[in-house]
């Protein structure tokens, strides 16, 4: 059996890490597994799994994507294509209908549909509406659908108007080598480690709302010392650096840049903060729990509330509320909210690679048998 894990582009992000985690285990189970993307970004090479073939469809631009996808489907004739982006999934379903009737298609959903659509304006909103219309027409024709949390599955069912079942499979975050990765040595940016430290891990993009975190952090700084680590890179980096400089936070904030292994940075922190407007899942929350680090997250759609069991394993605060975020951070500092390390790690193990792989394999084999 040949399986394509198909992405629009392969970056150094949470979605891509999930595919990179799944691919080797699928291959070990006897499936000829390929990572296929329109473009593989150079910075993401560090997370590509060894001995997994990759196929780049449009290295020179998006205009060649459709034609090359058609050509490579004809050449390789995969038995199953598992998609990860909505526009690409619709395209594959159309190509299957026209040219490749034997190919099975599994559509996976990793991000909210309703929230980005509600927030978008102008051309971007029109794009989302067109993709949604295409999904409403085409997704029911796929062989299986998967969402990475129950709330997201409901969001898909409601907006795409589906009657077909949607499987819920949590992202495979906790890997067998996590104990080693967590203990990897890093150069801590400050000579002492006694001052409370918060950490953000993720793309420096507007949706991640690092601006909200910085505003809350500045508020805390006025009354008690603390520090902030920002692990990641992206389009908001210039804004973040400018905010830090203008607000005299240079000596208490540190940007590490993109890290192939963020776990040691999370381990050193007192709490991880996820401040997003929306998420598909929130992988870093599980990573923090695996490290035994406290978690603060916006109660955004979708993922954080489900992972944290509605606040049992970490604090949930309203979206776009810096005051509430600052108060939650203070509760970590004075330990008014604290979850034991072993409880956090036990919860994290529920999001293991082994558990996810077995569920994915069950879906894959079911569609092959129909």
pLDDT, tens digit (0-9, with 9 covering 90-100), for 311-320: 999 999 999 9
Same domain assignment for residues 95 and 190: no
Q: Report whether pLDDT(45) > 90.
A: no
Which strand (E) or helix (H) includes residue 150? helix 150-160
Percentage of the residues of the chain whose pLDDT score is greater than 90: 87
Residue 192 pLDDT: 83
Same domain assignment for residues 6 and 65: yes
Q: Report whether pLDDT(36) > 90.
A: yes
Q: Report whether pLDDT(39) > 90.
A: yes
Same domain assignment for residues 68 and 212: no
Same domain assignment for residues 160 and 186: no
Average pLDDT, the chain: 94
Q: Report whether pLDDT(42) > 90.
A: no
Same domain assignment for residues 166 and 182: no
Pairing mode of beta strands 104-109, 32-37: unpaired
Domain tally for the chain?
Answer: 2
Q: What is the mean pLDDT of residues 133-154?
A: 95
Residue 272 pLDDT: 98
Express each pLDDT in 335-347 by its tens digit: 999 999 999 999 9
Same domain assignment for residues 223 and 344: yes
Q: Report whether pLDDT(302) > 90.
A: no
Which strand (E) or helix (H) includes residue 21? helix 14-28
CATH of the domain at 82: 3.40.50.2000
Q: What is the mean pLDDT of residues 81-94?
A: 96
Same domain assignment for residues 255 and 302: yes
Q: Report whether pLDDT(297) > 90.
A: yes
Same domain assignment for residues 136 and 235: no
Same domain assignment for residues 299 and 361: no
Q: Report whether pLDDT(12) > 90.
A: no
Domain span at residue 71 reads 2-172+352-368
Residue among 36, 156, 55, 142 at smallest CA distance from 92:
142
The dihedrals phi and psi of 305, each to the nearest 5 degrees, come to: -65, -40
Q: Report whether pLDDT(119) > 90.
A: no
Same domain assignment for residues 190 and 312: yes
* Burial tier of 310 (Cβ tally within 10 Å: 0-12, 13-18, 19+): exposed
Q: Report whether pLDDT(350) > 90.
A: yes
């Amino acid at each position: 059996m040949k399986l394509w894990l198909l992405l629009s582009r392969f970056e150094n992000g949470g979605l891509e890490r999930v595919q990179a985690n799944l691919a080797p285990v699928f291959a070990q189970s006897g499936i000829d597994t390929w990572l296929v993307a329109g473009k593989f970004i150079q910075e993401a090479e560090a997370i590509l799994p060894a001995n997994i073939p990759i196929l780049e469809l449009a290295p020179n631009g998006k205009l060649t994507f459709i034609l090359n996808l058609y050509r490579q489907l004809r050449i390789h004739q995969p038995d199953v294509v598992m998609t990860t982006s909505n526009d690409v999934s619709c395209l594959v379903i159309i190509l299957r209908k026209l040219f490749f009737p034997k190919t099975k298609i599994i559509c996976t959903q990793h991000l909210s549909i309703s929230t980005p659509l509600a927030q978008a304006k102008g051309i971007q909103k029109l794009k989302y509406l067109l993709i949604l219309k295409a999904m409403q027409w085409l997704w029911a024709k796929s062989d299986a659908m998967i969402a990475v949390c129950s709330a997201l599955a409901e969001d898909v069912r409601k907006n795409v108007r589906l009657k077909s079942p949607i499987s819920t499979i949590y992202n495979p975050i906790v890997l067998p080598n996590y104990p080693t990765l967590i203990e990897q040595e890093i150069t801590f940016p400050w000579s002492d480690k006694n001052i409370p430290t918060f950490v953000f891990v993720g793309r420096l993009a507007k949706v991640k709302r690092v601006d909200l975190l910085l505003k809350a952090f500045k508020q805390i700084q006025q009354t008690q010392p603390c520090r902030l680590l920002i692990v990641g890179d992206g389009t908001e980096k210039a804004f973040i650096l400018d905010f830090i400089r203008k607000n005299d936070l240079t000596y208490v904030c540190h940007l590490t840049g993109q890290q192939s292994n963020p776990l040691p940075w999370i381990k050193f922190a007192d709490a991880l903060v996820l401040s997003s407007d929306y998420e598909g899942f929130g992988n870093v929350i599980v990573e923090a729990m695996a490290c035994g680090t406290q978690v603060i997250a916006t109660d955004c759609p979708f993922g954080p509330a489900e992972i944290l069991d509605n606040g049992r394993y970490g604090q949930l605060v309203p979206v776009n509320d810096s005051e509430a975020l600052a108060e939650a951070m203070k509760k970590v500092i004075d330990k008014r909210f604290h979850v034991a390390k072993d409880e956090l790690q036990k919860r994290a193990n529920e999001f293991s690679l082994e558990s996810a792989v077995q569920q994915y394999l069950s879906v894959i084999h079911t569609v092959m048998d129909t």
